[in-house]
Amino acid sequence: MGARLPAAAGIDLQDVQKIYDGVKALDIALLRVEPRSTLALIGPSGCGKSTLLRLVVGLLTPERGSIRIAGTPMRPETRLELQRRMGYVIQEGGLFPHLTAAENVALVARDLGWPDARIGARIQELLELTQIPRELLDRFPAQISGGQRQRVALMRALMLDPEVLLLDEPLSSLDPMIRSDLQRDLKQVFGRLRKTVLFVTHDMAEAAFISGEIAIMNRGTILQRGSFQELVRNPATPFVTEFIRAQRLLDAPNLTPT
Ligand code: ADP
Ligand code: MG
């Protein structure tokens, strides 16, 4: 588990297809996320971002192709072991409503038989990292704010010190100021922990802030991968330009008062 493994697992997808009810939702020829690097995955609603993440975390099975984590293929017999090496955060946090924040965070570690002292020590580390006040941990998810819930969800995802972190629009339901605080803190956490991170968002400014590398998707495929500047200067398809233009990031200088 976490502590004994070299904390450097890459993610590899090769020739992966996912079909829902006869309709192809995802078709990825090749995708690699290097160990300890962050990749932001962006695209419009319905383009297949969540499908891709669910495949990587083993919640869905592809119709064809291979998915490997740290070189190990995701298969029924490897799924559980691989899942313990990955932390996963979704848009609404996915916390269990009937458990306190602390119980949510400690759930899997308890299942694995960690002694109380080890759980307590790990929680202390994570409180500092995620900047959550300790007293907040005794509350239920409904009793804390949306931003705090996402911090707790991040804390839960990090509990076992996974090598890989998968985040599916973790900030999309937050209002702008809370969101901007969390963007800054997440970026700092990624920089400190140096995990392999796949960060899904539909917001280009967020993608560019969080990660130097962005993969842009449409209709189940990856159109282009590069820095924000590369996508702007050298778009692979007209869609890339349209997508960036629609978010008004190209007009920003015009908004500056003279
Ligand atoms: P995104 O996360 O980018 O918004 P999704 O991965 O959720 O996109 O969805 C990709 C496509 O697959 C969409 O057209 C969506 O309607 C479809 N889809 C997703 N989940 C299912 C499902 N369980 N059954 C049928 N179609 C689905
Ligand atoms: Mg989604």
Q: What is the per-residue pLDDT across 178-201, written as a single tens digit (0 to 9) for each? A: 999 999 999 999 999 989 999 999
- DSSP state at residue 136: G
Strands (E), the chain: 11-20, 23-33, 38-42, 64-69, 72-73, 86-89, 164-168, 196-201, 214-218, 221-226
Q: Which of 17, 18, 20 to mutate to test the pocket of ligand 1 (most atoms within 8 A of CB)?
A: 20
| Res 111: pLDDT | 94
Q: What type of residue sits at position 252?
A: A
Mean pLDDT (whole number) for 72-88:
96
Ligand 1 near 49 CB (within 6 A): yes
| Residues whose CB falls within 8 Å of the CB of residue 117, separated by 6 or more in sequence, listed in order | none
| Res 93: pLDDT | 81
Predicted confidence (pLDDT) per residue in 99-151, tens digit: 999 999 999 999 999 999 999 999 999 999 999 999 999 999 999 999 999 99
Whether the per-residue pLDDT at 63 is higher than 60: the answer is: yes
Q: Which of 27, 49, 51 to mutate to test the pocket of ligand 1 (most atoms within 8 A of CB)?
A: 51
For residue 148, give Cα distances in angstroms to 92, 140, 228: 11, 11, 29
Q: Which of the ligands is closest to the CA of residue 51?
A: 1
Q: 75: which 2 tokens?
A: 């298969």
Span from the CA of 54 to the centroid of ligand 1 (angstroms): 11
Predicted confidence (pLDDT) per residue in 197-246, tens digit: 999 999 999 999 999 999 999 999 999 999 999 999 999 999 999 999 99
| Res 92: pLDDT | 85
Span from the CA of 54 to the centroid of ligand 2 (angstroms): 10
Residue with CA at minimum distance from ligand 1 atom 12: 25
Which residue ranges form the domains of the chain, and what is each CATH number?
11-97+163-251 (3.40.50.300)
| Res 251: pLDDT | 66
User: Considering the chain, what percentage of its residues have pLDDT values greater than 70?
Assistant: 94
CA 53 to mean position of chain CA atoms: 8
Q: What type of residue sits at position 204?
A: M
Q: What type of residue sits at position 152?
A: V
Instruction: Determine how many CB atoms are found less than 10 A away from the CB of residue 218.
Output: 19
Span from the CA of 45 to the centroid of ligand 2 (angstroms): 7
Ligand 1 near 201 CB (within 6 A): no
Distance (Å, whole) CA 230 – CA 228 = 5
CA quadruple 62, 86, 52, 29: dihedral sign: negative
| Res 5: pLDDT | 47
Q: Which of 50, 54, 223 to mutate to test the pocket of ligand 1 (most atoms within 8 A of CB)?
A: 50
CA torsion 11-13-17-19 (nearest 10°) is 0
Mean pLDDT (whole number) for 157-173:
95
Band (pLDDT 50/70/90 cuts) for residue 91 is confident
Mean of per-residue pLDDT scores for the chain = 92
| Residues whose CB falls within 8 Å of the CB of residue 152, separated by 6 or more in sequence, listed in order | 93, 95, 101, 104, 105, 130, 132, 136, 137, 141, 144
pTM given for the model: 0.92
Distance (Å, whole) CA 24 – CA 22 = 7
